[in-house]
Structure 1
Amino acid sequence: MILPRYHIADSAIKGAGKGLFLDETVAAGRIITAPDGIDRTFRHAEISTSPELKAQFHASARWFEDRYTLSPDWPDECYINHSFAPNGLWHLGFVFALADLPPGTEITVDYRHLLPPGESEDFADSLTGEIITGLSWSDSLASSTRALAELLDTTNADRDV
């Protein structure tokens, strides 16, 4: 589920197709998307060995450990594009605003958190040309947890002033 008002439009990221854009300001630390309507997760091995599931893998995201969600109906959350310098933090299926984001901002996350460990996207990062390769679960969880803690510490400190 996407919490702020938004719209889907042509992405500003070269080669990305469509993107998800905010229609309202979202404060740093606020949740942009939250898991919704997920009735099942699949182990990567289960997806890899099932022709039916493997055909839907393009619409998958790692949610936790070796568990992936499949969204073949392509919900609007799937229009969030990749960046190595994202404005959204992917953490356990939630996307948090990494800064105050004004209306018109295209939401991006680092896809390395969504991919299986060591697997690469079939496209490179549009700005750097670097390959986008999935992080291990422990690296993903550790780095997103640290980033979320720092974000919340900063936003809480700003509110206390």
Structure 2
Amino acid sequence: MIVPRYRIALSRIPQAGQGLYLDEPVARGAVIIAPDKVHTVWPESRLRACAADSIEVESSVRWFEDWFSLTPEWSDECYVNHSYAPTALWHLGFIFALDDLPAGTEVTMDYRYVIGDGERMPFADSVTGREIVGLPWRQVLADGARRLLDLSA
């Protein structure tokens, strides 16, 4: 569920396709996206039994530990693009504004938080050229919790 008003338009990130843009300002720390309609959660071992280009793999994000939520209906939340300088923080399925975001801001996040430990995205970051490799779960949990705590201060 995307909380603020938004629109989908061509991303400003090179080679990213479409992006999700805010149509209203969002305050630092506010929830931009909250999980809803999570009807399928699989362990990573089951997910990795699928082909890399399968709908299951393509529509999955790590939710917690080695469990992934699958959203094959491709909601607009799928238009949140990767950035190493993100505007938002993913934490336990929620996406929070990392700063006061004016209307017109593209919502981006660091994909390393939502892919498996050591998993490599099939593309590099188009701005920096850096590879995108999933972080260990404990690091994702600790980093996200620390950053979320900083947002509440």
1:97 maps to amino acid: A
Structure number, greater radius of gyration: 1
User: Shift of residue 108 of structure 1?
Assistant: 0.2
Q: How far apart, CA to CA, are the structure 2 residues paired with 1:123 and 1:48?
A: 18
Partner of 2:8: 8
User: Shift of residue 54 of structure 1?
Assistant: 4.5
Bigger helix share: 1
Runs of 4+ more than 4 Å apart: none
Partner of 2:90: 90
Q: How far apart, CA to CA, are the structure 2 residues paired with 1:26 and 1:137?
A: 28
User: Shift of residue 131 of structure 1?
Assistant: 0.2
Q: How far apart, CA to CA, are the structure 2 residues paired with 1:79 and 1:103?
A: 17
Cα deviation, 1:10-44, whole Å, max 9, x if unaligned, reads 00000000000000000001000000000221001
Cα deviation, 1:30-79, whole Å, max 9, x if unaligned, reads 0000000002210011112246x944211110011111011111100000
Q: How far apart, CA to CA, are the structure 1 residues paired with 2:137 and 2:110?
A: 14
Say whether residues 1:58 and 2:45 are aligned partners.
no
Q: How far apart, CA to CA, are the structure 2 residues paired with 1:10 and 1:4?
A: 19
- Which stretches in structure 1 are left out of the alignment for 5+ residues? 154-161
Q: How far apart, CA to CA, are the structure 1 residues paired with 2:88 and 2:11?
A: 16
Partner of 1:31: 31
Partner of 1:19: 19
Instruction: Give yes or no for contact 1:47–1:54 (8 Å, CA) kept in 2.
Output: no
Q: How far apart, CA to CA, are the structure 1 residues paired with 2:25 and 2:69?
A: 29
Partner of 1:43: 43
Partner of 2:148: 148
Q: CA RMSD in A?
A: 1.3
Q: Give the total of aligned pairs.
A: 152
Say whether residues 1:125 and 2:116 are aligned partners.
no
2:76 maps to amino acid: D
User: Shift of residue 137 of structure 1?
Assistant: 0.4
Q: How far apart, CA to CA, are the structure 2 residues paired with 1:69 and 1:41?
A: 4
1:145 maps to amino acid: A
For normalisation by structure 1, the TM-score amounts to 0.91
User: Shift of residue 151 of structure 1?
Assistant: 1.1
Partner of 1:112: 112
Q: Percentage identity across aligned positions? A: 51
Q: How far apart, CA to CA, are the structure 2 residues paired with 1:15 and 1:50?
A: 26
- Which stretches in structure 2 are left out of the alignment for 5+ residues? none
Residue 145 of structure 2 aligns to a residue whose secondary structure is helix
